[in-house]
Amino acid sequence: MIDKIEQEEFRVLARKYRPQVFDDLIGQETLVRTLTNAITNNRIAHAYLLTGVRGVGKTTTARIIAMSLNCEDRIQEKCEPCAKCDSCVSIREDRNLDVIEMDAASKTGVDDIREIIDNVKYKPVNSKYKIFIIDEVHMLSKNAFNALLKTLEEPPAHVKFIFATTEVKKIPITIISRCQRFDLHRIATTVLTSHLMNLAKKENINIDKDAMALIVRSADGSVRDGLSLLDQAITNEKDKITANSIIDMLGLADRGNIFDLMDAIFQGDPVNALAIFNRIHQAGADVVMIFDEMLNVTHFITQIKIVPELKEDIHIPELERNKGFEMAEKISMTSLGMIWQVLFKGYEELQSGFHLFQQGEMIIIRLIYLYDGPSPGDLIKKIEEDKKLSLNMSTSSESSSSVEKDTIINKVRNKNNEIKEKREVNKEDLPNPIGVLTIKSYRHFVDLFYQKKEGMLHTYLYNNAKLVSFKEGEVVVNAKSIADPHFPRTIAKLVSTWTGRIWQVSTSASNVGKTLYEEDLIQQQKEIEIMKNEPEVKAILGKFPGVTIHSITDIHQTADEKAFATKNKQTKEK
């Protein structure tokens, strides 16, 4: 009977040590400080949006906010809930009538939101505020978001909304703009390690530092994941939790073997590298996870290469620190960059591969035979050694070396002459720079289409295309009102042909610019305003009420009129 009661009372660590007050939240100092000031100064927003990865405390923070706002015994100058009054206890036990928590992953429709909207108008039963906590809010449908908009913008004074999500990009901007947004960060490795070690002491758990480091690394900044892994490790090992037991539990590749594998790759030893890879695989590690660990090790070695002080970081297992430091001294930053690129590409290929073990072996061979030539550092060392050797040579050897130098110089000169001749030949194929047409303004750019008889394109550019930016060889326009999808390419092709140089024409959704038609219209209105102040025009407008100036036209003879007059004159002379 006693054993049965103990089993019923057992709770996993993630629930047992769930924060109940703001001080219990770790790694979220900015969030806690802002909310503390808001509550103590009575500047509480009507809606909060909490974002972040899984397990960092979004829903927990929402519940603490609800407890603080509705706490019956909270000290006025402080924000912390008492966690003992009926309101706090009922919220913690999910039975408070005024704090409604909804999972948007299971209730995504507009009907579910309508229930909330209908419930908003009723005042709270026992508390100061009626609080709606919507978890995974990004799962709501588009119609559900639209139905929530008006209520969210102007809710009653007794209503507060708290949203939590892991995918903030999926939430409409109209919802985000109506909320105060808080981004909960991943918990730093040192903070999470210290937190889990303190909980392990409370639970009388004997765990190695290296084992805890593996748990924290696998948790990836999530407190809940770290507590779940620690709970699982406690179940697996009763006496002492070691690094090996964590490796077996998580199916990880032994990090020491991964370092040995990378060292063999760095040394260019394919036989040893493939043997180590086979040994890791036979031990039960997944191929994809092996390459994931190889990426992590490459990143770690790069970090040590940049910041050697990491060798003294006690939160990193000693074996990894020593091996990583030794390997970092033997390899250049350029080689690490190339190895990372090949590893990452291979890791992506493994995600959709079939024969994973064979594919993994081929990636390792690709890494080893990535570059057979000497590195730039080796070349520099060789040049320095050659210089020292030449200084110690005898007179006879100096004369022979001078002959060799003359031969090398002649070869270099001949090579330079060949390159110059090729350049001269290539220059003949290039367009004549004298024939290049320079366009210095967007208006000149548009007028060119009129001059080249491209009337339709000129009309589009003048009336519809809004200029975003212009510089020689590159134009960005807002062509949203132009239906032709090939419009930018057609414009670029024609201008490049006419000007003798390559032009890039791209589109943008920006509305900062205006069309030439709009600019001319604005300019004409300015000229009309100036014209109205002319004494003669002002007198005419005063004499004829209701008369307005429609447009301004130059009364001098146009080019067409001049051509017509010249033609008539020639006809009369004949």
Bridge partners of 232, per DSSP, are none
- The domain that holds 508 is classified in CATH as 3.30.300
In this structure, the answer to whether residues 112 and 157 fall within a common structural domain is yes
In this structure, the answer to whether residues 263 and 352 fall within a common structural domain is yes
CB 75 within 8 A of CB 45: no
Tens-level pLDDT at each residue, the chain (574 residues): 444 444 456 778 888 888 888 888 888 888 889 988 998 888 899 999 999 988 898 999 999 999 999 898 888 778 888 888 888 889 888 888 899 998 888 888 888 888 888 888 888 888 889 999 999 999 999 999 999 998 998 889 999 999 999 999 999 999 999 999 999 988 888 899 999 999 888 888 888 888 888 888 888 889 999 999 898 888 877 678 888 888 778 766 667 888 889 989 988 888 999 999 998 888 777 888 889 889 989 998 998 888 888 877 777 777 788 888 888 888 888 888 888 999 999 998 888 888 889 999 999 998 888 755 455 556 566 667 766 766 665 444 445 455 555 555 555 455 555 545 544 444 444 344 444 578 888 888 888 888 888 888 888 888 888 888 888 888 888 888 888 888 888 888 888 888 878 888 888 887 778 888 888 888 888 887 787 777 777 777 777 777 777 667 665 544 555 555 555 555 444 4
In this structure, the answer to whether residues 244 and 265 fall within a common structural domain is no
- The domain that holds 360 is classified in CATH as 1.20.272.10
Q: What are phi and psi of 116, to 5 degrees?
A: -65, -45
In this structure, the answer to whether residues 132 and 232 fall within a common structural domain is no
The sign of the torsion formed by the CA atoms of 177, 182, 184, 190 equals positive
In this structure, the answer to whether residues 438 and 563 fall within a common structural domain is yes
Q: Is residue 317 part of a domain?
A: yes
- The domain that holds 143 is classified in CATH as 3.40.50.300
Cα 49 from Cα 170, distance rounded (Å): 13
- The domain that holds 218 is classified in CATH as 1.10.8.60
Residue 340 CB contacts under 8 Å (≥ 6 apart), including other chains = 295, 298, 299, 302
Cα 60 from Cα 67, distance rounded (Å): 11
Cα 210 from Cα 148, distance rounded (Å): 49
With CA atoms as reference, report the closest residue to 307 among 293, 282, 294, 325. 325
CB 253 within 8 A of CB 289: yes
Cα 235 from Cα 143, distance rounded (Å): 46
DSSP sequence for 371-382:
--SPPHHHHHHH
Q: What are phi and psi of 101, to 5 degrees?
A: -105, 125
Q: Is residue 424 part of a domain?
A: no
Cα end-to-end span (Å), the chain: 131
In this structure, the answer to whether residues 313 and 176 fall within a common structural domain is no
The sign of the torsion formed by the CA atoms of 108, 114, 120, 122 equals negative
Cα 192 from Cα 216, distance rounded (Å): 7
In this structure, the answer to whether residues 329 and 193 fall within a common structural domain is no
Cα 251 from Cα 243, distance rounded (Å): 12
Write down which residue in 368, 392, 411 finishes a domain: 368
User: In what helix (H) or strand (E) does residue 262 lie, and over which residues does it extend?
Assistant: helix 255-266
Please name the amino acid found at residue 153. Answer: E
User: In what helix (H) or strand (E) does residue 230 lie, and over which residues does it extend?
Assistant: helix 223-236
Q: What are phi and psi of 466, to 5 degrees?
A: -95, 125
Cα 162 from Cα 46, distance rounded (Å): 9
Cα 155 from Cα 116, distance rounded (Å): 11
Task: Collapse the DSSP code of 486 into the 3-class scheme (helix H, G, I; strand E, B; otherwise coil) and give the result.
Answer: coil
Counting the structural domains of the chain, the total is: 5
Token pair, residue 544, equals: 């004829």
Please provide the size of the chain in residues.
574
Domain of 226, in residue numbers: 189-250
In this structure, the answer to whether residues 519 and 446 fall within a common structural domain is yes
Q: Is residue 2 part of a domain?
A: no
